[in-house]
């Protein structure tokens, strides 16, 4: 049996570790900031054809608040950081409705804007996967920790609200694919934060949730883990990937650097 330790304190025996991607495996804030700004710009550009200037200003404020968009940062608890692409799209269409656009038109405009913004999203540009500068960087100390887990026979997997293309591109860009035995994306059903997403991934891996740890950067990750049967002390919050630390609920254990994790056994 392998015991997971945090800063020298034993947390419990584990057969698998489930990782969130954005904000846990990856430092994705710069790319998410660019993506959110592109969505706002493109939305305002298209909406200018049918909205008065005051409505455009209101729309900009609504979108920036919804996306958690600051001048140089993304709110780690906002929908850009936490929610799936289609939830972000629905929030965009809702903002358009709030400034007077009909729902069919708002939804169509949002889909157009997101399609254009996706072309600029480096996380999905597979043609540039050999250039790490075009994708999110890994969080500091990640690879040695993954190597340690692999050497100990602990199975690793990704559970994310990114789509499969985004997950696979990130892993391929940093040559991490060999560390992960399973992927659960926004395209799987149910998606996180439904606890059944954890059960689905555990079934895919052939492990029990009670023998897993889950590491994420959002309260919804930690709540999902516990609801799925992962022991409370093995639902771990990761804090080091954002310019503003995410507002994670205590008393979940918090990881500030991957070096704080260690293994004992088997």
- Identify the pLDDT of residue 31: 87
Q: Report the SS3 class of residue 245.
A: coil
Per-residue pLDDT band for 121 (boundaries 50, 70, 90) equals low
Q: Indicate the pTM of the whole model.
A: 0.87
Cα–Cα distance measured from residue 142 to residue 136, given in angstroms and rounded to the nearest whole number: 13
Q: How far apart are the first and last CA of the chain?
A: 5
Kind and range of the H or E run holding 228: none
Per-residue pLDDT band for 187 (boundaries 50, 70, 90) equals very high
- Identify the pLDDT of residue 266: 66
In DSSP notation, 140-186 reads TTHHHHHHHHHHTT-EEEEE-SS-HHHHHHHHHHTT-GGG-SEEE-T
- Identify the pLDDT of residue 179: 98
Q: What is the pLDDT of residues 129-182, one digit of tens each?
A: 333 334 679 999 999 999 999 999 999 999 999 889 889 999 999 999 999 999
Least confident of 86-90, 107-111, 163-167, 172-176: 163-167
pLDDT surpasses 90 at 230: yes
CB 207 within 8 A of CB 15: yes
Distances (CA, A) of 116 to 39, 63, 80: 8, 17, 16
pLDDT surpasses 60 at 128: no
- The rounded mean pLDDT for the chain is 91
Distances (CA, A) of 198 to 8, 73, 109, 125: 27, 30, 34, 28
CB 22 within 8 A of CB 32: yes
Domains present along the chain, CATH in parentheses: 3-28+136-264 (3.40.50.1000), 29-126 (no CATH)
CB 230 within 8 A of CB 212: yes
Q: Which has the higher per-residue pLDDT, 50 or 201?
A: 201
Angle between the N-to-C axes of helices 53-67 and 85-98, in degrees from 0 to 180, rounded to the nearest 10: 150
Q: How many of the other CB atoms lie within 10 Å of CB of 156?
A: 20
pLDDT surpasses 60 at 218: yes
pLDDT surpasses 90 at 104: yes
Least confident of 19-23, 62-66, 127-131, 242-246: 127-131
Percent of the chain exceeding pLDDT 90 equals: 78
Q: Taking residues 216-229, what's their average pLDDT?
A: 96
């Amino acid at each position: 049996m392998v015991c997971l330790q945090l800063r020298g304190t034993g947390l419990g025996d584990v057969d698998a570790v489930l990782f969130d991607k954005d904000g846990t495996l990856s430092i994705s804030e710069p790319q998410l900031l660019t993506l959110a700004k592109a969505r706002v710009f493109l939305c305002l550009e298209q909406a200018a054809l049918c909205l008065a200037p005051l409505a455009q200003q209101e729309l900009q404020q609504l979108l920036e608040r919804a996306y958690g968009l600051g001048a140089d940062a993304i709110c780690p608890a906002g929908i850009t950081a936490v929610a799936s692409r289609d939830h972000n799209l629905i929030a965009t269409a809702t903002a358009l409705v709030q400034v007077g656009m009909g729902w069919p038109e708002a939804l169509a405009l949002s889909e157009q804007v997101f399609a254009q913004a996706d072309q600029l999203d480096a996380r999905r540009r597979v043609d540039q996967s050999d250039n790490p500068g075009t994708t999110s960087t890994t969080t500091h100390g990640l690879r040695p920790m993954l190597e340690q887990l692999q050497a100990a026979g602990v199975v690793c997997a990704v559970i994310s609200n990114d789509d499969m293309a985004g997950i696979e591109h990130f892993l391929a860009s940093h040559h991490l694919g060999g560390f992960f035995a399973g992927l659960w994306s926004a395209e799987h059903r149910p998606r996180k934060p439904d606890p059944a997403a954890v059960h689905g991934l555990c079934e895919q891996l052939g492990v029990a949730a009670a023998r897993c740890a889950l590491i994420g950067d959002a309260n919804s990750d930690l709540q999902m883990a516990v609801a799925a049967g992962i022991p409370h002390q093995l639902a771990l919050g990761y804090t080091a990937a954002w310019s503003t630390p995410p507002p994670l609920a205590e008393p979940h254990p918090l990881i500030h650097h991957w070096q704080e994790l260690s293994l004992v056994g088997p």
